[in-house]
Amino acid sequence: MVYIVDTVQVDPGRADEYVRTVQTMGVPVMTAAGARFVSCWATADDAGEPVSVQTVWASADHQDWNEIRRNMVLDPAWYAYSNIISGLWLGGSRRFYYPTDGSPTP
């Protein structure tokens, strides 16, 4: 199993909109492509700094992830989601994580 972890920085005033967009547009398009939605977490929006939003997806392995990516780029809904969500973040990263021996899996 590979976990795809997206961590983005969002202006505090737009954090709710970002999370709502993930839930209403991102989850449907990503799960339709074959990804498994694991979680979406955010830091406090009243800390006087950008909110960090972490979204985690899962797939069987990198080969499966490449198939999911192919499915996404063939889906017009992906482009609608991508155009909206990319306008809401300030910056971020994507990392691929693998569970270590003895780690519980979500």
Chain segment 3-50, per-residue pLDDT in tens: 999 999 999 999 999 999 999 999 999 999 999 999 999 999 999 999
Q: Which two tokens stand for residue 53?
A: 């939003």
Instruction: Tell me how far apart the terminal alpha carbons of the chain are, to the nearest angstrom.
Output: 11
Please determine, for residue 102, whether its predicted confidence score (pLDDT) is greater than 90. no
CATH architecture designation of domain 2-97: 2-Layer Sandwich (3.30)
What stretch of H or E contains 9?
strand 2-10
Residue 105: pLDDT over 90: no
Domain ranges of the chain: 2-97
Q: What is the pLDDT of residues 39-98, one digit of tens each?
A: 999 999 999 999 999 999 999 999 999 999 999 999 999 999 999 999 999 999 999 999
